[in-house]
C-alpha cells in the first residue's frame, strides 16, 4: 500500500513548499503537543504560533481579544505565520484553531508548508477543554461566541470544517488514539512527502486519510515519541 492515496495525478515535490510542516485543526486537538513531538523526532524547530504571538505582543491572546478585538489578533496571526514560513530552516508549526479563517493565510499555508489537519471528536474536544478549565489553563483560549467555550465547539467546528479541508494536504484522525500514535503518523507522512514526490489533492478536495503502515515505520517512531513525552502527558 502506498503511503497515502492521490486525489489527483499531479504531484508536488517537497521543495516546492519549503519543507515546513503546519498542523491545523480545532483548539485542544493536540497540535502543540503533537507538533513538539514530531519536531524533536525530526530534529527540526518547533513553533507554536499562539505562543509566538503572545511573546511578540507581550500580552495573552485573551487580552488581545478583549482589548483590541479579533481582527487585530488575526492581523498578528497572519503576520507571524508568514514570517515563520518564510524561513529557510525546516519548522513544525502548530497554528491556532482559527488560522484558516483568512483566505490569504490558507493560501500561504498550502504554498509554503505541508499542511496536516488533525481531527478529534467534539466530545473529546469538550473533555479536554473542560479539563483545562478545571486546571485553570484555559486563559489563552477565549470563548469565540456568547455560547461559551464548551457549548460553541460543535457549531464552530461545523463552520470551520470546509476551511480546514480547503487548507489541508492531508488529514489525520485522533479519535481513540494517543498523542504519541498521532505524532508517529504525522512524522511518517511528512517524511514520506519530503523524501518523494507528493501527490497532493487540489484545494477544497477532501484530504486523504492516513492508511495503515504495514512497514512498521510508525511503530518505531511511536516508541521514540514515547521516550520524549513527559509523564504528565498533555492533551492539547
SS3 224: helix
Q: Is residue 141 annotated as involved in ligand binding? A: yes
Contact between 68 and 58 (Cβ < 8 Å): no
50 among the known binding-site residues? Answer: yes
Which residues are CB-contacts of 211 (< 8 A; sequence separation ≥ 6)? 1, 4, 5
Check the annotation: does 71 bind a ligand. no
Cβ atoms of 212 and 181 within 8 Å: the answer is no
The reply to whether 74 sits in an annotated binding site is yes
Give me the phi and psi of 170, to 5 degrees please.
Answer: -155, 160
30 is known to lie in a ligand binding site: yes
Give the whole-angstrom CA distance, residue 64 versus residue 57.
8
160 is in an annotated binding site: yes
Contact 115, 109 (CB under 8 A): yes
19 is in an annotated binding site: no
CB-count burial class (<10 Å; 0-12, 13-18, 19+) for 187: buried
Q: Is 148 left (phi over 0), alpha (psi -120 to 50) or beta?
A: left
Question: Pick from 193, 174, 181: which is nearest to 225 by CA?
Answer: 181
Ligand-binding site membership of 102 (annotated): no
User: Closest by alpha carbon to 170, among 17, 15, 20, 23?
Assistant: 23
Does 80 count as an annotated binding residue?
no
- Is residue 96 marked as binding? no
| Annotated binding residues for Mg(2+) | 32
| Annotated binding residues | 28-33, 50, 74, 97, 141, 160, 177
| Annotated binding residues for ATP | 28-33, 141, 177
| Annotated binding residues for substrate | 50, 74, 97, 160
Amino acid at each position: 500500500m502506498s503511503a497515502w492515496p492521490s486525489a489527483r495525478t499531479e504531484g508536488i515535490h517537497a521543495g516546492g513548499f519549503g519543507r515546513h510542516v503546519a498542523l491545523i485543526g480545532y483548539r485542544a486537538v493536540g497540535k502543540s503537543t503533537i507538533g513538539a513531538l514530531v519536531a524533536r523526532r525530526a530534529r527540526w524547530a518547533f513553533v507554536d504560533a499562539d505562543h509566538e504571538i503572545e511573546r511578540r505582543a507581550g500580552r495573552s491572546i485573551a487580552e488581545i481579544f478583549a482589548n483590541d478585538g479579533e481582527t487585530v489578533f488575526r492581523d498578528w496571526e497572519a503576520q507571524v505565520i508568514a514570517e515563520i514560513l518564510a524561513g529557510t530552516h525546516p519548522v513544525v508549526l502548530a497554528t491556532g484553531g482559527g488560522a484558516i479563517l483568512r483566505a490569504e493565510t490558507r493560501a500561504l499555508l498550502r504554498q509554503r508548508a505541508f499542511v496536516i489537519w488533525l481531527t478529534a471528536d467534539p466530545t473529546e474536544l469538550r473533555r479536554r477543554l473542560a479539563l483545562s478549565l478545571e486546571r485553570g489553563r484555559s486563559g489563552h483560549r477565549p470563548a469565540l461566541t456568547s455560547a461559551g467555550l464548551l457549548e460553541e465547539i460543535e457549531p464552530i467546528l461545523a463552520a470551520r470544517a470546509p476551511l480546514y479541508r480547503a487548507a489541508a494536504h492531508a488529514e489525520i484522525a485522533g479519535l481513540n488514539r494517543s498523542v504519541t500514535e498521532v505524532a508517529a503518523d504525522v512524522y511518517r507522512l511528512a517524511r514520506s512527502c519530503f523524501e518523494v514526490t507528493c501527490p497532493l489533492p487540489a484545494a477544497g478536495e477532501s484530504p486523504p486519510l492516513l492508511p495503515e503502515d504495514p512497514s512498521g515505520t510508525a511503530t518505531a517512531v511511536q516508541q521514540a515519541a514515547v521516550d520524549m513525552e513527559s509523564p504528565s502527558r498533555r492533551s492539547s
